[in-house]
């Protein structure tokens, strides 16, 4: 089956979050299961630099906005990669969605409408040598691809390809003022309640939810949650109406990238049978962040966007309890200025116990995950989360809230779960500081019992979150559409 993945970022070329990791790992897993997969991305500068074999493609027509289509290879995979080379829209360094002040680009509607439009064109002979049977778009950036496919079908009277739309985070919806509608090249009657209209604006996410043949999201629990008012972000009605076409497919870990037994980015390799290397990773991390080399209290870590959604208000409110018990904290990430300022101030006040690195560095992220004892993901909501999966893989026990994919992947170290051998981390339910601190206390208590701690570590590291299994579920969606 010929499948086109459509996305705005992809590891290892360009990454702002977990979306890139997923889009970088899934194509290879699909290929291993027999799919003929290609990927379509904008030719952002970082992506263009990372694909030296990209060459102009002889196409069956001209691209809108004066662009051209290049064809290269996704590094390390052999998967063919289409790049939309439209410098007026994409030749901007840094964050692909916003300027240096963090403000979304005012032409984002044109930039990502083109991504969706080219996705649809590649199902209709735009590349004379290959046409997609299924177009699989990721998040709002590719939300218009199913709409363009539907418009082409209405115009020609024939179906070019099926479509899947995957929601990675419903909170980001790609909403734009009504006056952009004329620039999208879609039929005027697509702007209605059962279409692109969302509270008087145009929503790319809603377009994907409405026009795609199948909808997926990145964990089974999140698929249920987004059909309710609390986490539906105003689109819960659309999702309830399409519940029969909605599935939750849990994200996974790319074992070639995140694996402590072979990871060349960390100071020492280790696995569940030989954990000594993890201790060396811990000492190296403490040294590089200027923390004391203590080993009798847990070292907590965060690799995340620094936002309220990720639970940083809980982390800040719980710092006194963490410090009173002798814990240490390492934070790597960027995000909301107020939270960054509070964390930086805490690090200045407690220089031997708290360290903060503002920004994102892939190598440092690996070193943090390998070096800490506990990975903290106390999110208000979390579609899937990858950090806790990396924590499990590296024996850095996750501390998470029971929500979304966190609920699907981590089992609390309660007495009964320790007794029956199912515990893999620390889980709390209510998004309140008392519940968070109770989970923090369980982490300190278990850390004192070294034998049990290592048992839980080994169990966590044995968890299988495999992309081949996830790929099989996506293929079932594709086959359903084809049938």
- DSSP designation for 141: G
Q: Which residues contact 415 (CB under 8 A, 6 or more apart)?
A: none
Of 4, 35, 15, nearest to 470 (Cα)? 35
At 442, give phi and psi (nearest 5°). Answer: -65, -35
For domain 276-461, give the CATH number. Answer: 3.40.50.2000
Q: Do the domains spanning 2-252+467-482 and 276-461 agree at the CATH topology level?
A: yes
At 54, give phi and psi (nearest 5°). Answer: -65, 130
- Asked whether 239 and 208 are in contact (CB, 8 A), the reply is no
As given in the structure block, the two tokens for residue 320 are: 């006194």
- Asked whether 379 and 315 are in contact (CB, 8 A), the reply is no
Q: Round to whole Å and give the CA distance between 413 and 425.
A: 6
Q: Round to whole Å and give the CA distance between 233 and 277.
A: 44
How many residues appear in the chain?
483
pLDDT tens per residue, the chain (483 residues)? 999 999 999 999 999 989 999 999 999 999 999 999 999 999 999 999 999 999 999 887 788 878 899 999 999 899 999 999 999 999 999 999 999 988 999 999 999 999 999 999 999 999 999 999 999 999 999 999 999 999 999 999 988 899 999 999 999 999 999 999 999 999 999 999 999 999 999 999 999 999 999 999 999 999 999 999 999 999 999 999 999 999 999 999 999 999 999 999 999 999 999 999 999 999 999 999 999 999 999 999 999 999 999 999 999 999 999 999 999 999 999 999 999 999 999 999 999 999 999 998 999 999 999 999 999 999 999 999 999 999 999 999 999 999 999 999 999 999 999 999 999 999 999 999 999 999 999 999 999 999 999 999 999 999 999 999 999 999 999 999 987
Sketch the domain layout of the chain as residue ranges. Answer: 2-252+467-482, 276-461
Place of tokens 């080993």: 295
Strands (E), 122-276: 134-138, 162-167, 175-176, 197-198, 201-203, 214-217, 246-248
Q: Round to whole Å and give the CA distance between 282 and 267.
A: 9
Give the N- to C-terminal CA distance of the chain in Å, as an integer. Answer: 12
Give the pTM. Answer: 0.95
CATH of 2-252+467-482, one of 3.40.50.410, 3.40.50.2000, 3.40.50.970, 3.40.50.620: 3.40.50.2000
Q: Which residues contact 170 (CB under 8 A, 6 or more apart)?
A: 205, 217, 226, 231, 232, 233, 235, 383
- Asked whether 414 and 423 are in contact (CB, 8 A), the reply is yes
């Amino acid at each position: 089956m010929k499948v086109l993945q459509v996305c705005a970022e992809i590891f290892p070329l360009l990454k702002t979050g977990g979306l890139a990791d997923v889009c970088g790992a899934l194509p290879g897993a699909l290929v291993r299961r027999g799919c003929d997969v290609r990927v379509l991305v904008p030719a952002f500068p970082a992506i263009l630099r990372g694909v030296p074999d990209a060459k102009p493609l002889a196409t069956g027509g001209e691209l809108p906005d004066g662009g051209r289509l290049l064809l290269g290879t996704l590094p390390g995979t052999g998967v063919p990669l289409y790049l939309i080379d439209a410098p007026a829209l994409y030749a901007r360094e840094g964050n692909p969605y916003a300027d240096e002040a963090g403000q979304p680009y005012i032409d984002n509607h044109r930039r990502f409408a083109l991504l969706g439009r080219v996705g649809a064109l590649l199902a209709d002979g735009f590349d004379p040598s290959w046409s997609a049977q299924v177009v699989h778009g990721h998040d709002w950036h590719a939300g218009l691809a199913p709409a363009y496919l539907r418009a082409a079908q209405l115009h020609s009277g024939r179906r070019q390809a099926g479509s899947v739309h995957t929601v990675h985070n419903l909170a980001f919806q790609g909403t734009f003022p009504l006056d952009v509608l004329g620039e999208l090249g879609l039929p005027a009657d697509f702007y209605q309640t059962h279409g692109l209209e969302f509270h008087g604006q145009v929503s790319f996410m809603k377009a994907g939810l409405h026009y795609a043949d199948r909808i997926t999201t990145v964990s089974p629990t999140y698929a249920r949650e987004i059909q309710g008012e609390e986490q539906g972000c105003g689109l819960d009605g659309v999702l309830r109406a399409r519940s029969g076409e909605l599935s939750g497919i849990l994200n996974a870990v790319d074992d070639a990238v995140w694996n402590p037994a072979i990871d060349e980015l960390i100071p020492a390799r280790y696995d569940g049978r030989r954990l000594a290397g993890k201790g060396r990773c811990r000492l190296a991390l403490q040294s590089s962040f200027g923390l004391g080399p203590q080993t009798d209290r847990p070292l907590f870590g965060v690799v995340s966007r620094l936002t309220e959604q990720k639970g940083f208000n809980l982390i800040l409110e719980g710092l006194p309890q963490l410090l009173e018990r002798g814990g240490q904290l390492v934070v790597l990430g960027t995000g909301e200025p107020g939270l960054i300022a509070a964390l930086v101030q805490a690090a200045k006040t407690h220089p031997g116990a708290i360290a903060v690195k503002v920004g994102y560095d892939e190598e440092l992220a690996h070193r943090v995950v390998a070096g800490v004892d506990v990975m903290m993901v106390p999110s208000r909501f979390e579609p899937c989360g990858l950090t806790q999966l990396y924590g499990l893989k590296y024996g850095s026990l996750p501390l998470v809230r029971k929500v979304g994919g966190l609920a699907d992947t981590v089992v609390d170290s309660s007495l009964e779960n320790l007794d029956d051998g199912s515990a893999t981390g620390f889980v709390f339910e209510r998004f309140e500081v008392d519940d968070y601190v109770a989970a923090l206390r369980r982490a300190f208590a278990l850390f004192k019992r070294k034998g049990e701690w290592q048992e839980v570590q080994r169990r966590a590291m044995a968890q299988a979150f495999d992309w081949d299994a996830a790929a099989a579920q996506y293929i079932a969606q594709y086959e359903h559409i084809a049938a």
